[in-house]
Amino acid sequence: MTAPTEVSGEELRARMMRKRTAIDLMELSFAEDAAVFAATDEYDELGFVSAIDWIRFNCHMTSGAAAASVAVGTTMDRLPRSVEAVSQSVR
């Protein structure tokens, strides 16, 4: 961890919000890919019991986080306003 620098509270808050927005957009993209991957049998061909198991192991995630990614990705088409809200949340 780096030593704290002289950054105003306002700038620090703004920076954190920008980073969270970028992370949210990446999470949506990851979830979409996770759902597409889960719809294949590639994980089985690679010797994993499920797509969630492959994601957990290879993407260094908890089982819950991997399952959530697949679940979000598979329901994105039914939640267009939620996806749009996250996508448009540029701060």
Asked if 27 and 83 count as a contact pair (C-beta separation under 8 A), the reply is: no
N-to-C CA span, the chain: 26
pTM of the model: 0.85
The rounded distance, in Å, linking the Cα atoms of 49 and 47 is: 7
The pLDDT, as a whole number, for residue 5 is 75
- Residue 67's identity, in one-letter code, is A
Q: Give, for all 91 residues of the chain, the pLDDT tens digit.
A: 666 678 899 999 999 999 999 999 999 999 999 999 999 999 999 999 999 999 999 999 999 999 999 999 999 999 989 888 888 875 5
How many residues does the structure list for the chain? 91
Q: Token digits for 53?
A: 């198991």
